[in-house]
A and B are shown apart, each in its own frame.
Chain A
Amino acid sequence: MRVFFLLAQKAFRRNLQYRASHVVTNIASAIFGFIYIAIWQAAAAGTGTADYSATVLPRYIAFNQAMLWITIFRQHGLGIPEAVATGAVSLEMMRPVDYHAMVVVRELGNVWYSFWFRTVPLAAVFALAVGMHVPQRPSTYALLPVAVGLAAYVGLCLHYVAGLSAFWTIQSRWSNQLLQAAHFGLSGFMVPVDLLPGALAPLAAALPFAALQYYPTRIYLELSGAEALVWPFVWSILLTLLCRAMTYAARRKLEVQGG
């Protein structure tokens, strides 16, 4: 157990070295947030929909913009494709530590850093601009950390699957692009999933991408209760199994690039 903790801690500390350059990307991220917030404010001006009033929608977008840093903005394939390309992966797999757990834990250190140095400051900036929803129900304070934790974890699983695909395809950026596109359209970070047109709404609600953004936000804004944890929970289990199976297969498939 201690080795996992150390891995996460090292990843966290490495990030600390780049704090200054991260400020720049944080500002850029805030500007993107303001653009999306402004669009929704104009669209929902006055009317809004049943769940999403003109005050709720900007807060919905703001919360999602802050969440992006712990869900989708991970390093490309969790660094696996690079290790596959250089052959370093063979050494990593040789270590007496479970490969899947090692990669996930290493990235958890980055997630933890992103949470404190990106998500929290961004949320604070947006709160100044559009106000902050303060949850009223006591249960929300129990559900929200679970939902955010599951969002980060499902995000890690999806990135792991995309990264591990590098064992079979040489161009791993394809799977990464596909993941980004699916997140872009189906996670609800830009348009709440239930506002998507036609059959897309129920479909997106049942896919793992909604667990990254849509469900945690619903819980935060108290539009949903514990039922919003069902899909994220189901997906965290299914994806964990998939990650295990793929790790097993990758181990068999491992080819070392000669040189």
Chain B
Amino acid sequence: MAALRLYAQLVSASLRAQMQYKIDFIVSTFLDAIFQAVDFVLLAAIMLRFPEIAGWTLYEIGLLYGMSWIAMSLYRTFAPELHNFDRYIVQGNFDSLLIRPWPTLMVLLSRNLELRKIGGALQGALVFWFSASHLLRSGRLEWGEVAILIGLSVTGTLIPFALSLATAACSFWIVRSGDLQTFTMYAPITASQYPLSVFPGWLRALLSSVLPVAFINYVPVQYLLEKGGSAWSLVSPPVVSALCLIAAYSLWRLGERRYHSTGT
């Protein structure tokens, strides 16, 4: 409880600090929005030429796209320091986290909350809503099913979070983990914006096991659109998310015990 209160205090301090740079906040938010709009225009451009990708229509892919962006953006909003963690190891700043009487991860997560990244989740929600409302009208989805997907988008954010935590934990051994992120985060998340079935077998296997981004969106959406899967498809995403988180946190604890500071 005390930890939660402290977290809230630290977060509000961090936000107040950021708001001292208003123009930076506004311009950065705007640029993020442009980048994401371009991202969607490209997807739409492909879909305008070729109405179906592996049997999925624009609206169906829109669900995947929206859920993927919501999960990724929520993670980016609440864990920016985890995203750039390796500099703590490179520069030896991790020491300053260790001397506090709180879990290192909690202190880390309370720093530099990137509120503007929430814009990505909003834009993702917009695409999701645009797609879901069309599928609702045409009777492909029901309200209850949409509600389930919204819930799963939020729990789905645990998957990029866990992947990032595990990648950051790798820094305890290999020091620089920035390049590793391309494998563990950027590439899988990009892939998760499209139906898993378009990818070659080895990539499909990877994205539904070690880097389980398929459980953010593809597994439940595929089932609800009656493209395969079983009722288990709705239960497995939160279960997988939780397991990932436990595994990643264990790795983090293991690495933390192994940490030794850089010499100066």
- Cα-based distance from A196 to B46 in the complex (angstroms): 8
B44 touches A185 (CB 8 A): no
Binary contact readout A147-187 vs B (1 if CB under 8 angstroms, 0 otherwise) = 00000000000000000000000010010011011001100
B48 touches A197 (CB 8 A): yes
Q: Which of A24, A181, A195 is most buried by chain B, counting CB atoms within 10 A of its CB? A: A181
Q: Which of B148-202 contact A (CB under 8 A)?
A: 179-180, 182-183, 186-187, 190-191, 194-195, 197-200
In the complex, whether A35 has a CB less than 8 A from a CB of chain B is yes
Q: Which of B14-65 contact A (CB under 8 A)?
A: 24, 27-28, 31, 34-35, 38-39, 41-42, 44-50, 53-54
In the complex, whether A41 has a CB less than 8 A from a CB of chain B is yes
Identity of the chain B residue whose Cβ is nearest the Cβ of A32 in the assembled complex: B187
- State the Cβ distance, B242 to closest chain A Cβ, in Å: 27
Identity of the chain A residue whose Cβ is nearest the Cβ of B206 in the assembled complex: A31
- Cα-based distance from A93 to B24 in the complex (angstroms): 29
In the complex, whether B203 has a CB less than 8 A from a CB of chain A is yes
The verdict on A39 contacting B44 (CB below 8 Å), with A31-B183, A34-B203 known, is: no
B45 touches A195 (CB 8 A): yes
**Which residue of B42, B194, B197 contacts A190 across the interface (Cβ within 8 Å)?**
B42
- Cα-based distance from A172 to B42 in the complex (angstroms): 26
B203 touches A35 (CB 8 A): yes
In the complex, whether A44 has a CB less than 8 A from a CB of chain B is yes
In the complex, whether A25 has a CB less than 8 A from a CB of chain B is yes
The verdict on A31 contacting B187 (CB below 8 Å), with A43-B46, A174-B27, A177-B31 known, is: yes
Question: A196 — which chain B residues lie within 8 A by C-beta?
Answer: 45
- State the Cβ distance, A123 to closest chain B Cβ, in Å: 19
- Cα-based distance from A25 to B187 in the complex (angstroms): 12
A42 touches B198 (CB 8 A): yes
The verdict on A184 contacting B203 (CB below 8 Å), with A32-B190, A190-B42 known, is: no
- Cα-based distance from A29 to B47 in the complex (angstroms): 24
- Cα-based distance from A241 to B24 in the complex (angstroms): 30
Question: B187 — which chain A residues lie within 8 A by C-beta?
Answer: 28, 31-32, 35
- State the Cβ distance, A200 to closest chain B Cβ, in Å: 8
User: By the criterion of a CB under 8 Å from any partner CB, how many residues of chain B are at the interface?
Assistant: 34
Question: B183 — which chain A residues lie within 8 A by C-beta?
Answer: 27-28, 31
- State the Cβ distance, A169 to closest chain B Cβ, in Å: 9
In the complex, whether A139 has a CB less than 8 A from a CB of chain B is no
- Cα-based distance from A28 to B188 in the complex (angstroms): 11
The verdict on A171 contacting B27 (CB below 8 Å), with A39-B53, A42-B198, A49-B49 known, is: yes
**Which residue of B44, B50, B182, B190 contacts A44 across the interface (Cβ within 8 Å)?**
B50
A185 touches B182 (CB 8 A): no
Tell me if A's interface is mostly helix, strand, loop or mixed: helix
In the complex, whether A47 has a CB less than 8 A from a CB of chain B is yes
- State the Cβ distance, B188 to closest chain A Cβ, in Å: 9
In the complex, whether A21 has a CB less than 8 A from a CB of chain B is yes
- Cα-based distance from A29 to B190 in the complex (angstroms): 13
B179 touches A25 (CB 8 A): yes
B54 touches A185 (CB 8 A): no
- Cα-based distance from A202 to B79 in the complex (angstroms): 41
Binary contact readout A179-212 vs B (1 if CB under 8 angstroms, 0 otherwise) = 0110011000011000111001000000000000
- Cα-based distance from A61 to B53 in the complex (angstroms): 16
Question: B48 — which chain A residues lie within 8 A by C-beta?
Answer: 197
Question: A197 — which chain B residues lie within 8 A by C-beta?
Answer: 41, 44-45, 48
- Cα-based distance from A173 to B47 in the complex (angstroms): 32
- Cα-based distance from A184 to B53 in the complex (angstroms): 21
A39 touches B194 (CB 8 A): yes
In the complex, whether A238 has a CB less than 8 A from a CB of chain B is no
Q: Which of B54-86 contact A (CB under 8 A)?
A: 54
A42 touches B35 (CB 8 A): no
- Cα-based distance from A27 to B190 in the complex (angstroms): 16
Identity of the chain A residue whose Cβ is nearest the Cβ of B32 in the assembled complex: A177
A181 touches B31 (CB 8 A): yes
A184 touches B38 (CB 8 A): yes
In the complex, whether A38 has a CB less than 8 A from a CB of chain B is yes
The verdict on A184 contacting B35 (CB below 8 Å), with A41-B198, A44-B50 known, is: yes
Chain A positions within 8 Å of B, measured between CB atoms, are: 21, 24-25, 27-29, 31-32, 34-35, 38-45, 47, 49, 171, 174, 177-178, 180-181, 184-185, 190-191, 195-197, 200
For the complex of A and B, list the 6 residue pairs with the smallest distance between their C-beta atoms, beginning with the closest: A42-B198, A185-B38, A28-B182, A43-B50, A42-B54, A181-B35
A31-B182, A39-B53, A39-B194 are known; give 16 further A-B pairs, CB within 8 A. Answer: A24-B179, A24-B180, A27-B183, A32-B182, A34-B200, A34-B203, A38-B203, A40-B46, A43-B53, A171-B24, A180-B35, A181-B35, A184-B35, A195-B49, A197-B41, A197-B48
